[in-house]
């Protein structure tokens, strides 16, 4: 069994896609397709920056998708295979789910880029730049992360956002609360806290306005048959009050 898994936000960096585009016309075509769909030179931002503009979620989301799909298309062309032949599943983390749907040919790259630009705008509008943050906790299980989040909140939002594996958990919320949490990691037996390069606090209740605003595009989409099985991201079982949404947050 083989799965193709696509990354989420935080994996962007200035220079992304340049070597691929220099080496492959297939990659250049994909980047141009995305630029045309957005009526914006995203590829120049990806390769030249500035970093603060690339980090903005409305830019980072389509950029990461474009880089992932360009990589996949080059792999398929150079390797002489299709994802339908070699992939049993596609999946992704947060925005990576959109890349996975594009990889599975349910959505074309241009449509996916436009969706991610709108998604990013909705998410950034929910929490202005500088007011939210996320941090990865290394050496933390879900119980330690929850205890730290509870202690750091102090009336603000500080919540477990992603249960990545038994030793890494991501928290999200108001910036001051996340800063407090990072400063308190040793007190809670956690090895290290690392602030993530994102412009909004994803996967927490601060994203509820974005989830509400993000319902409108879906009835207008034209879906194509998937060439392989898509596996959606699921919330940790320990978070029964949360369900996933297209913006990564919904409360019951």
Residue whose C-alpha is closest to residue 122's, from 213, 61, 230, 222: 213
- Report the topology of domain 3-126+211-251: Malonyl-Coenzyme A Acyl Carrier Protein; domain 2 (3.40.366)
How many residues in total does the chain contain? 252
What is each CA distance from 83 to 31, 70, 90, 198, 213, in whole angstroms? 20, 13, 9, 30, 33
Model pLDDT for residues 70-110, shown as the tens digit of each residue: 999 999 999 998 888 888 889 998 899 999 999 999 999 99
pLDDT recorded at residue 18: 97
Domain boundaries, the chain: 3-126+211-251, 132-198
- Residue 54 above 90 pLDDT? yes
- Residue 130 above 60 pLDDT? yes
- Residue 192 above 80 pLDDT? yes
Please spell the DSSP secondary structure of 17-85, one letter per residue.
Answer: THHHHHH-HHHHHHHHHHHHHHTS-HHHHHHH--HHHHHSHHHHHHHHHHHHHHHHHHHHHHHT--HHH
- Residue 196 above 70 pLDDT? yes
Q: Give the E-state strand segments of 132-202 in sequence order.
A: 132-138, 158-165, 168-174, 192-195
Res. 248 pLDDT band, cuts 50 70 90 = low
Between CA 33 and CA 73 the distance in angstroms is 13
Model pLDDT for residues 137-148, shown as the tens digit of each residue: 999 999 999 999
Q: What residues contact 62, with CB distance under 8 A and at least 6 apart? A: 34, 38, 42, 112, 113, 116, 117, 120
- Residue 17 above 50 pLDDT? yes
Region 114-130: mean pLDDT is: 92
Architecture of domain 132-198: 2-Layer Sandwich (3.30)
What pTM, to 2 d.p., does this model score?
A: 0.81
- Residue 61 above 60 pLDDT? yes
What is each CA distance from 180 to 102, 169, 176, 187, in whole angstroms? 38, 16, 6, 12
Between CA 70 and CA 54 the distance in angstroms is 18
- Residue 235 above 50 pLDDT? no
Residues marked active site are found at 94, 203
């Amino acid at each position: 069994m083989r799965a193709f898994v696509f990354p989420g936000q935080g994996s962007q960096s200035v220079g992304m896609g340049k070597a691929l585009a220099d080496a492959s016309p297939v990659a250049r075509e994909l980047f141009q397709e995305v630029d045309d769909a957005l009526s914006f030179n995203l590829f120049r931002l990806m390769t030249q920056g500035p970093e603060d503009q690339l980090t903005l979620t409305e830019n980072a989301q389509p950029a990461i998708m474009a880089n992932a799909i360009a990589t996949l298309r080059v792999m398929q062309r150079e390797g002489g295979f299709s994802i339908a032949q070699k992939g049993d599943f596609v999946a992704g983390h947060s925005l990576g789910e959109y890349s996975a749907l594009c990889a599975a040919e349910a959505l074309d790259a241009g449509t996916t880029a436009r969706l991610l630009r709108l998604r990013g705008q909705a998410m950034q509008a929910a929490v202005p730049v500088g007011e939210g943050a996320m941090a990865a906790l290394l050496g933390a299980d879900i119980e330690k992360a929850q205890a730290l989040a509870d202690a750091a909140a102090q009336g603000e939002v500080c919540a477990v956002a992603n249960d990545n594996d038994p030793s890494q958990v991501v928290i999200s919320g108001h910036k001051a609360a996340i800063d407090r949490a990072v400063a308190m990691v040793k007190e809670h037996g956690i090895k290290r806290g690392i602030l993530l390069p994102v412009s909004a606090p994803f996967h927490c209740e601060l994203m509820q306005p974005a989830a509400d605003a993000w319902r409108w595009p879906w009835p207008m989409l034209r879906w194509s048959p998937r060439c392989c099985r898509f596996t959606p991201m699921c919330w940790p079982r320990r978070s029964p009050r949360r369900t996933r949404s297209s913006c990564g947050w919904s409360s019951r």
